[in-house]
Chain A
């Protein structure tokens, strides 16, 4: 069976890869969006925290014999803890200044984290295998579905939906939405906003760490894996519009798919397609597809 001149199975396989990438884009851009919303910081270090998650999973396995599931639980918490430390010690001093300072600080942090790990482990990919229970594939008839990839998609989407539900449906989320609009007033009401900001940053980068662990078995674990993905994720955020939760999720998935389609039909443009879309969106709707025009 063929579709648009391509065997169905090959097409489906490419689309699956697209959705997997899209799930990572969604999880990462979601974290960027909530951090930007509350802290007004463009967190350039997001890719480095994603990389840190994958590297930590690898180190846990290599040095401590830590299994995948334990890593999936512990590593995001550890990454979140590092993030909260960064927020308390460094980022907190930059609030009220121009965006540029936060961007520069987080860029610097990225270079430090990548540089240290690079000098320790080099740049060639380190092997990390999926858990045995997910290391097989099922034949769906029209395609062969590797179980681990299905798990990545399900787990990322669950994390995104969980985040969305916390922000839209809980009391904590209403504090966050309100503080995003008017921080001083929420503080005047007696909410400990500084604490909430620290937790939000921790949660956002913890989410990146979670994505990093998920990515470890499907991508090359290396100190450079963060910078490869973060550039695309920033494009996703620009296309979706800063500060929109649902926008970040939908755009992330959609662009993963678009990228995969381009890879199938015109591979030469695979790396530029997302940026072409970004340029188009910036021209036609500068606030992004889901952003509010100001």
Chain B
């Protein structure tokens, strides 16, 4: 389609966003190369969650959002996921009226297959269609969607709890389920909102191992984190937000020298 250079997996430029009348984001610029893991750091209310929601079109917004080089800011929300986005919301979004396995199977397959081959591939999760265990992926540079068996191998707890109502699961299990269900879809860009929040240390460690595994599988990940110690060893790039703007950005190599300023910035 174009020259050999790979476009960024995710590129935000001049992104503004509003909740009703209140402006929350004031011109976000952010770029993630395919396979990179980035952490959005900042205090509560800095606009990190809103950044993720703006990418998905869940808030009013203006500016440019490019996914694998394709402008998606004009797409309706339900089309954006089909560019290969998997979203794990802060409140986890486990559905009470669905059992664990129904929750797992809910999101339609969105694997755009090969990165760079844009658009639709005839797979729009119109009501009633939607495909089953994301066994697709069609061998591009992005990771293929995992099958149900692969998911259960990675999250054995979910297999045991498959028939339980979604909200009867423990907090850790709900978080695992929230991540697992987007891995099934074939999404290659994951937006993870505060996945370590409120979980026991042993679960947080398991999540860190999981993110590391996903990183090695080639997923591009943008995670919102309050827990700097969780994000530090995982992310390649860090963006620090304050009052709806990105006020600092650096690579993981520069982490040590920034630790002190960051501690001050993130203190609640």
Task: Tell me the A residues contacting B by CB distance below 8 Å.
Answer: 171-172, 174-175, 177-178, 180-182, 184-196, 199
Contact = CB atoms under 8 A, between A and B. Distances in A.
Interface stretch (B91-99, B197-205, B212-220, B230-238): B91-99
A185 B89 contact: yes
Contact of A171 (B81, B128, B185): B128
B209 interface: no
Contact of B87 (A174, A189, A199): A189
Contact of A174 (B58, B82, B102, B126): B102
19 contacts: A171-B105, A171-B128, A174-B102, A174-B105, A175-B106, A177-B98, A181-B96, A185-B93, A188-B77, A188-B80, A189-B107, A189-B108, A189-B110, A190-B107, A190-B124, A190-B125, A191-B127, A192-B126, A194-B76
Contact of A175 (B76, B124, B127): B127
Interface of B: 56, 58, 76-82, 87, 89, 93, 95-98, 102, 105-108, 110, 124-128, 130, 182, 185
A89 to B, nearest CB: 18
A104 B219 CA distance: 49
Nearest to A190: B81
A184 B91 CA distance: 13
A178 B106 contact: yes
A171 B110 CA distance: 16
A182 B182 CA distance: 16
A186 B107 CA distance: 7
A191 B98 contact: no
A41 B81 CA distance: 27
Contact of A194 (B78, B81, B97, B124): B78
B58 A184 contact: yes
Nearest to B84: A190
Contacts of A195: 126-127
A191 B78 contact: yes
B110 A172 contact: no
Given A187-B77, A188-B81, A174 B106 contact: yes
